[in-house]
Chain A
């Protein structure tokens, strides 16, 4: 990116009518590892690629349970994502407490978007450097939203964010017409295929991806590694490796370099035990 005269402050417009700081924040999202989401009439599936900094460290948590009916996948500055997840969880709890019913997804994303907008109009703040794929189920059906640092949000049939997400988007664009009527299994299969697209030749294994589902009669939860690996094997997705071993190393380096400055790459080991709140 070139240095611009008008990019020091988030509260400074450029002559072309752009807020560069906000756009730079959206760049941060593109640098994070990929996250994808897709939905049918009754289910929403979120998937993400887990890239650890090195073999020694654990990977960062990118999918969070917000409530029984809502979950979120993030890409970008994971620390910002964690903070926003905490906010979302709080909002859901407070709404449940007052109205004894689950917070409609559309309301939550608006609140989230308004929160993000505030940071684009205060000189002492910076925009959140994280994009959120919000998956949820409410009375009006299954929904997938994308919230970006600018404070905009959009509803999607399927979407992908983060590095190499274009490959996943291309795959999803070809298939999305069928998603509305897909079965749960087909939806997960498509999610896994989309994740594989972002790996560019690396073998798809359950150890490098995370998949979460929410649906009618099914609370938001992260699928355990065993189940995911079974599905990969059953659908025979792992299969096509175009490039040999050197590729994964290059990918890992790219992945590591791609999460700059955030510094939050050392997160405690992911709890894979029997946790009632698979966060």
Chain B
């Protein structure tokens, strides 16, 4: 007799896509605001982004209950850090903390696919991309979630340096201006919305730079 499998899962996938792009002195983090379950839409107005520190913003798709729990954990740990060090956490520090927090639950993971964006200690944009158990890497741009398979190839085409065999390699940090990066993000989501049923409704864009933090919204197709 084959092993019986559970007819109940502790996880659900609420869909959605996240993107982050790092610039020379800015970082753009974006996510759609649709929350779904199966073929149903639960709400068209749910934020997947969370400001963890002055210079670190997290965008996560996946199971939003786990995402919320993860955000709360990180926020509490950040408070403790501030008490002990008398300052806010830097983005690279938060990146390591996020990785450790995820791996802590290696054998009952947070079903969260994360992209952390912000400014590093030198003020340059940085993006860190994760899997569900904390493996992470600093990159110039990344996408996670249901639309990521559609978005990443497009960003590769626009931002990635061609193979070093053809042309000399470029810096990971994008040579785009802030407004160009924001437009690129809007284009990504407009395209992903067309073909991914779980992405749509509205796009929330968070822009981090030396002047502080700014938020923009764009309507997406609702079908």
Contact = CB atoms under 8 A, between A and B. Distances in A.
Interface of A: 86, 89-90, 93-94, 96-97, 271, 275-277, 279
B83 A89 contact: yes
A97 B76 contact: yes
A279 B88 CA distance: 13
B83 A277 contact: yes
B86 A277 contact: yes
A93 B86 contact: no
Nearest to A100: B72
A36 to B, nearest CB: 24
A90 B86 CA distance: 16
A89 B83 CA distance: 8
Main secondary structure of the interface of A (DSSP, over half): helix
Shortest 8 CB-CB distances between A and B: which pairs? Answer: A277-B82, A275-B86, A271-B86, A97-B76, A93-B76, A89-B83, A93-B79, A276-B88
Contacts of A279: 83, 86
B169 interface: no
Main secondary structure of the interface of B (DSSP, over half): helix
Interface string B72-94: 10001001101100111000000
Nearest to A277: B82
Contacts of B80: 89-90, 93
A279 B81 CA distance: 12
Contacts of A275: 86-87
B82 A96 contact: no
Given A275-B86, A276-B54, 4 more contacts: A93-B79, A96-B76, A277-B86, A277-B87
Contacts of A86: 83
Nearest to A67: B79
Interface string B46-78: 000000001000000000000000001000100
A97 B72 contact: yes
Nearest to A278: B86
Contacts of B88: 276
A87 to B, nearest CB: 12
Contact of A276 (B72, B76, B82): B82
Contacts of B86: 271, 275, 277, 279
B53 to A, nearest CB: 9
A98 B6 CA distance: 30
Contacts of B54: 276
A97 to B, nearest CB: 5
Contacts of A96: 76
A113 to B, nearest CB: 22
A89 B76 CA distance: 11
Contacts of A276: 54, 82, 87-88
Contacts of B72: 97
A176 to B, nearest CB: 33
